[in-house]
Amino acid sequence: MENNIILIIFQIAVLLGSVIIHEVSHGLMALSLGDETAKDAGRLTLNPISHIDLFGSIILPLLLFVTHSPVILGWAKPVPYNPHALYKDYIYGPLKVALAGPLSNLALAFIFGLIIRLGSSFLSPVTLGFLSMIVFINCLLAIFNLIPIPPLDGSKILTIILPPRYSLALQNIGLGGIIILMIFIYYASDVIWLPAIMLFQLFAGSMGTQAFMAIFGH
């Protein structure tokens, strides 16, 4: 029981840190393209208080916990940005901002996967297992956030591609997006799990995968 609590606390801590880096990456990309909205709003910080979203950071992880989900998922409060202020790249700027979050998670997965590969000969199996969980959660977050349902990044990418009429309708979906997203997670989770597992195995390698299964596989 005590070990399970430690594993859950670790997952939540990794999730929180990863989604914060995800959101800050959106803001930093916007800033690099000329928009200071996130900076002025005080969102370019790693302080969790500035990024906690009631549903994505608290309610959804708790729901997944009580339903015995093997991994906790969620998101932070979206970082604001003004696409009209991206004067360094008006055409592709919004796309770059939208992709910055998932790419930050892939970067984290790559970095910790590299640590696993380089340290597999001298790190303990437990350490490798916990490092592999960091890789796995970030692979999940990258794939999860690319789902084209609001408020996830995939929907923002889709609004850039769609004609204005449909783009506006998607942006104004409001609470309906969260409802659709919950239904999607419940009935079509394989769309998230399968590519995330493939990415995880690519980044973590055989040693990371074995260590992960030894600790979290049950």
Q: How confident is the model at residue 198 (pLDDT cuts 50, 70, 90)?
A: very high
Q: Which of 216, 155, 218 is nearest to 14 (CA)?
A: 216
pLDDT recorded at residue 183: 86
Question: Distance between CA atoms of 119 and 126, rounded to whole angstroms?
Answer: 12
Question: Distance between CA atoms of 49 and 62, rounded to whole angstroms?
Answer: 18
Q: Is 23 a catalytic residue?
A: yes
Question: Distance between CA atoms of 164 and 141, rounded to whole angstroms?
Answer: 28
Number of domains within the chain: 1
**What's the mean pLDDT in 85-94?**
93
- Peptide bond between residue 148 and the one before it cis (omega within 30 degrees of 0): no
Domain range for 82 is 2-216
Secondary structure (H, E, C), 72-101: CCCCCCCCCCCHHHCCCCCCCHHHHHHHHH
CA terminus-to-terminus distance, the chain: 14
Q: Residue 202 pLDDT more than 80?
A: yes
Calculate the alpha carbon distances from 194 to 19, 113, 136, 189 in Å: 21, 18, 12, 9
Q: Residue 113 pLDDT more than 90?
A: yes
Average pLDDT, the chain: 89
pLDDT tens digits, 15-56 = 889 999 999 999 999 999 999 999 999 999 999 889 988 888
Q: What is the dihedral of CA 113, 133, 138, 59, to 10 degrees?
A: -170
The more confident residue out of 69 and 206 is 206
Q: Residue 174 pLDDT more than 80?
A: no
Catalytic member of 14, 15, 18, 23: 23
Q: Residue 1 pLDDT more than 60?
A: no
Radius of gyration of the chain (CA): 18
State what percent of residues in the chain have pLDDT above 70.
97
